[in-house]
Amino acid sequence: MIERADLAMTKDWSMNTKIIHDNQFPDPETRAISQSVVPAVAYAFPDAETAAEVVSDGAKGVYYGRYGNPTLHVLERKIAGLEGGEAALGVASGMAAISIALLGFLKHGDHVVVTKDVYGGTYSFLTSLAPRFGIEVDFVDCTEIVSLLSAIKPNTRAVYIETPSNPRLTVLDIKIIGELCKTHQLPLIVDNTFMSPCLQKPLDIGADIVVHSATKYINGHGDVLAGFVVGKKDVIDFMRKKLMGDLGQNLNAWESFLILRGIKTMGLRVERHCSSAQKIAEFLESHPFVEKVYYPGLKSHPQHELAKRQMLGMGGIISFEVKGGLVEGKRLINALQLAMISFSLGDPETLVQHPASMTHAAIPKEERLKFGISDGLIRLSVGLEDANDIIKDLDQALSSLFSVSGR
Ligand code: LCS
């Protein structure tokens, strides 16, 4: 009889099937289909020799909860499979994944080139904590390959990009940047949070490492903080032992289980996020009170053609500016009735926020403006509600805003 596990290994499934079945098998003892939660911190060994072998990585197994747990390991195998990487490391947050990925390649005296618009937490880590350990950073416009090339120094040890970027949805050419990195023997780290593996697989087109805030689309329910680093096994093993383990950044079994449950609907969710976001972006772009819309699915987006080549869908995040600026922008988000003012993104609920005073407040204003984050910019994470209801909500908020101000 062919074992289901063997069959699963040989199937060339599409992403939606892989999300549900890849690297996940019924429990051999109970035949339970949903994953067991194993919260144990300690694991018993039959003898001292086996214990030593597991610790030295010579044998499969778990030896202490800070280095992972069996529930997490199922999830890590699944994420590695979906991203097309050799191995994955699941950690306590997206920021844990990002800091581990960077510290995995950088040490005192090293330099990293980072694309100019990145998540505010990443910026904060790179400008306040990393310099305390002697790590230098330069933020450059990676849409200009010459700017990236000229930022590379003799002590550059990594290139870090986020595409599409938070919050301006700048799309970067992973293939071209990957080729440049290969020429200079630099690892390319890509934050794939806004896309999820459903829409973009950076490892297939030139990246060496993928990082995720799984808090967003991967879990998809706004109830878990988690992150992943995906890449070559030796690199991930080092990060597991020396960074996650020694810094105590592990993801616990219960949260791993919640993600294993949440991820099953990722294919469906992401499809809906994308189709609704396209409709809403088109509505906003045609609205007389909206100054500018940033969404890769719009023809007006500067990297629309690249986005169509590189991404399987345009994602669920839209940024826009209302006519007027800061005051009008804040009044608009206060007038929304369905969308909630909140940090985070990728949840079932539509969430709206003001990057200059919320997610990107850590970036000084002068820098923020260079990153294209104006005071009036609003970011919308399109939820799973009916797109027409989200449009109605935006419409009423825009109308109320300008009827009050007499425009
Ligand atoms: N990468 C990106 C692109 C993000 O947007 C975030 C968080 C992170 C990494 C960090 O993930 P975390 O540690 O929170 O799991 N983005 C947030 C945002 O836009 N609003 O609140 C958090």
CATH number at residue 375: 3.90.1150.10
Same domain, 216 and 288: no
Taking only the tens place, the pLDDT of each residue in 173-196 is 999 999 999 999 999 999 999 999
CA 176 to CA 144: how far, in whole Å?
A: 11
Residues 6 or more apart in contact with residue 104 via CB below 8 angstroms? 209, 229, 235, 238, 239, 243
288 Cα to the center of ligand 1, angstroms:
31
Neighbours of 37 (CB within 10 A): 16
Q: Which of 126-135, 265-274, 319-328 has the lowest mean pLDDT?
A: 319-328
CA 274 to CA 313: how far, in whole Å?
A: 6
Q: Which of 152, 158, 159, 166 is nearest to 117 (CA)?
A: 166
Same domain, 153 and 288: no
Q: Which of 166, 115, 119 is nearest to 319 (CA)?
A: 166
Same domain, 182 and 281: no
Residues acting as catalytic residues: 66, 119, 191, 216
- Kindly state the percentage of the chain with pLDDT values over 90: 84
108 Cα to the center of ligand 1, angstroms:
26
Same domain, 32 and 150: yes
CA 12 to CA 286: how far, in whole Å?
A: 42
Q: Which of 236, 264, 292 is the last residue of a domain?
A: 264
Predicted local distance difference test score (pLDDT) of residue 144: 95
Same domain, 221 and 303: no
Predicted confidence band at 369 (pLDDT cuts at 50, 70, 90)?
Answer: confident
57 Cα to the center of ligand 1, angstroms:
32
What's the pTM value of the predicted model, to 2 decimals?
0.96
Q: Which of 225, 241, 264 is the last residue of a domain?
A: 264
Atom of ligand 1 nearest to the CA of 97: 13
Same domain, 347 and 309: yes
Predicted confidence band at 278 (pLDDT cuts at 50, 70, 90)?
Answer: very high
Write the CA distances from 290 to 59, 137, 306, 343, integer angstroms: 59, 35, 25, 22
Same domain, 156 and 282: no
Q: Which of 247, 264, 281 is the last residue of a domain?
A: 264
Rounded to an integer, the average pLDDT of 262-273 is 98
- The answer to whether the CB of 307 falls within 8 A of the CB of 314 is yes
pLDDT for 305 beyond 50: yes
Predicted confidence band at 365 (pLDDT cuts at 50, 70, 90)?
Answer: confident
Same domain, 315 and 361: yes
Predicted confidence band at 4 (pLDDT cuts at 50, 70, 90)?
Answer: low
Taking only the tens place, the pLDDT of each residue in 201-235 is 999 999 999 999 999 999 999 999 999 999 999 99
pLDDT for 272 beyond 70: yes
Query: What's the chain's average pLDDT?
Result: 94
For β-strands 227-231 and 209-213, DSSP reports them as: antiparallel
Write the CA distances from 295 to 122, 142, 193, 289, 299, integer angstroms: 22, 18, 16, 17, 9
pLDDT for 364 beyond 80: yes
For β-strands 156-162 and 188-191, DSSP reports them as: parallel
Taking only the tens place, the pLDDT of each residue in 113-125 is 999 989 999 999 9
36 torsion bin: left (phi>0), alpha (psi -120 to 50), beta (else): beta
Predicted local distance difference test score (pLDDT) of residue 271: 98
pLDDT for 407 beyond 50: no
| Domain encompassing residue 273 | 266-404
pLDDT for 376 beyond 90: no
- Comparing 373 with 150, which gets the higher pLDDT? 150
Same domain, 79 and 147: yes
- Residue of 93, 115, 215, 217 to test ligand 1 pocket, by largest number of atoms within 8 Å of CB: 215
> Token pair of 6, please?
């063997």
- The answer to whether the CB of 314 falls within 8 A of the CB of 295 is yes
Same domain, 22 and 103: yes
Nearest CA to ligand 1 atom 17: 344
pLDDT for 107 beyond 60: yes
Q: Does residue 227 have its Cβ closer than 6 Å to ligand 1?
A: yes
Same domain, 247 and 270: no
CA 342 to CA 354: how far, in whole Å?
A: 9
Predicted local distance difference test score (pLDDT) of residue 118: 92
Q: Considering its fold, how many domains does the chain have in total?
A: 2
157 Cα to the center of ligand 1, angstroms:
24
CA 181 to CA 207: how far, in whole Å?
A: 9
Same domain, 280 and 250: no
Taking only the tens place, the pLDDT of each residue in 226-250 is 999 999 999 999 999 999 999 999 9
Q: Which of 227, 2, 226, 208 is nearest to 105 (CA)?
A: 208
Q: Does residue 60 have its Cβ closer than 6 Å to ligand 1?
A: no
Residue 205 belongs to domain with CATH number: 3.40.640.10
Q: Does residue 140 have its Cβ closer than 6 Å to ligand 1?
A: no
pLDDT for 405 beyond 70: no
Taking only the tens place, the pLDDT of each residue in 37-71 is 999 999 999 999 999 999 887 667 888 999 999 99
Rounded to an integer, the average pLDDT of 118-137 is 96
pLDDT for 26 beyond 70: yes
Rounded to an integer, the average pLDDT of 12-18 is 93
pLDDT for 400 beyond 50: yes
Phi, psi of 311 (to 5 degrees): -115, 145
